[in-house]
Amino acid sequence: MIRQFFGWQNTPFTREIPTAQLYPSASFRECVARLNYMAKTRSFGLLTGEIGAGKSAAIRTLRDGLDPTKYRFIYLCDSALKPRDFYRELLYQFGIRPQYLRSEVKRQFGHAVWDFYESQDKVAVIVIDEAHLLQGDMLQEIRFLTNFQIDSVSPLALIMVGQPELRATLQMRLFKPITQRMNIRYHLGGLELEETHKYVEHQLQVAGAQHPVFTAEALDAIYAHTRGIAREVNNVCTACLLDAVVRREKLIDAIHVARILTEYKEH
Ligand SMILES: Nc1ncnc2c1ncn2[C@@H]1O[C@H](COP(=O)(O)OP(=O)(O)O)[C@@H](O)[C@H]1O
Ligand SMILES: [Mg+2]
């Protein structure tokens, strides 16, 4: 509906945006650079950020940029994952059929990771997304992965991704072995005001827009409401665009944004 009305090639502000078209804000680029560094140095790392800030988008960018002949990207995003299944899942992603006993599975995994590194000269990059939702017993299990880091050479990179409370959870004494080895951390915040303007313009441009749609005042209002959190900016912009379609007007001003935001609050 939006695409047709405005005559664009794509719909902007969608989740399916290809990584090459993501808006490269300063913090986003810094975030991706740190993630790459974690992979390259086979470190343990922590990426935090508010919901919708772009953590998973940064992880997708990392994945797309890794040379598949050197890295095996393993992504886990299942808050309901049980310790019993954790190593099984990892093994599956390695293409190895897990054995029956849990102790065996762990051993298999250790073997696979080292073999991968030493014989094949490849590094496993394990990303655990939405890690703030994991139960204590799963975090305990992740502790086992830290054993790989006791030797001076680590064969893998482990990146835990989650909302800010993950940082506090990991501060608990129980998880010290994990945090002690997490030498690279990054917190992805919201975009600044000026960047929020550029973010929206970028989204419209990659959709194929030739003209601006939001006035500067409209963008200021969007920033004030969303604090530059990408997902929220996307939601408000989409609501404004749909409203514009209904109004049959191709310009969105602060008044329209204000009305949309009040409707938001009422629901
Ligand atoms: N730099 C960016 N450029 C364009 N879209 C982005 C960017 N960062 C995030 N987004 C979009 O914002 C939404 C939320 O991002 P996501 O990575 O899912 O956040 P998080 O994982 O932190 O909750 C997604 O639709 C995503 O495509
Ligand atoms: Mg996410």
For residues 138 and 77, the answer to whether their CB atoms sit within 8 Å is: no
Residues lining ligand 1, Cβ inside 6 A: 15, 17, 22-23, 25, 28, 49, 51-57, 230-231, 234
**158 pLDDT higher than 70:** yes
pLDDT digits (tens, 9 = 90+) for 29-61: 999 999 999 999 999 999 999 999 999 999 999
Quick one: pLDDT at residue 141? 84
Quick one: pLDDT at residue 85? 86
CA of 22 to the centre of ligand 1 (A): 8
Quick one: pLDDT at residue 267? 67
Q: Which atom of ligand 1 is nearest to the CA of 14?
A: 25
**120 pLDDT higher than 80:** yes
**151 pLDDT higher than 70:** no
pLDDT digits (tens, 9 = 90+) for 230-248: 999 999 999 999 999 999 9
**By percentage, how much of the chain surpasses pLDDT 70?**
98
Quick one: pLDDT at residue 124? 93
List, in order, residues 6 or more apart from 152 with CB less than 8 Å away.
none
Q: What are phi and psi of 128, to 5 degrees?
A: -110, 105
- Kind and range of the H or E run holding 31: helix 26-40
Greater pLDDT, 180 or 151: 180
Over residues 128-143, mean pLDDT: 89
- Kind and range of the H or E run holding 138: helix 136-145
Over residues 73-101, mean pLDDT: 89
Domains of the chain: 2-10+191-266 (1.10.8.60), 26-188 (3.40.50.300)
Over residues 247-259, mean pLDDT: 97
Which of 93-97, 143-147, 223-227 shows the highest mean pLDDT? 223-227
Q: What are phi and psi of 177, to 5 degrees?
A: -55, -30
Which residue among 19, 231, 232, 233 has the greatest number of ligand 1 atoms within 8 angstroms of its CB, and so is best to mutate? 231
pLDDT digits (tens, 9 = 90+) for 181-228: 888 999 999 999 999 999 999 999 999 999 999 999 999 999 999 999
Over residues 74-101, mean pLDDT: 88
Q: Which atom of ligand 1 is nearest to the CA of 49?
A: 22
- The chain-wide mean pLDDT, for the chain, equals 92
Which residue among 10, 16, 17 has the greatest number of ligand 1 atoms within 8 angstroms of its CB, and so is best to mutate? 17
Q: Is 159 helix (H, G, I), strand (E, B) or coil?
A: strand
Q: Which atom of ligand 1 is nearest to the CA of 233?
A: 12
pTM over 0.75: yes
Decide the pairing of beta strands 71-76 and 182-188: unpaired
Quick one: pLDDT at residue 206? 96
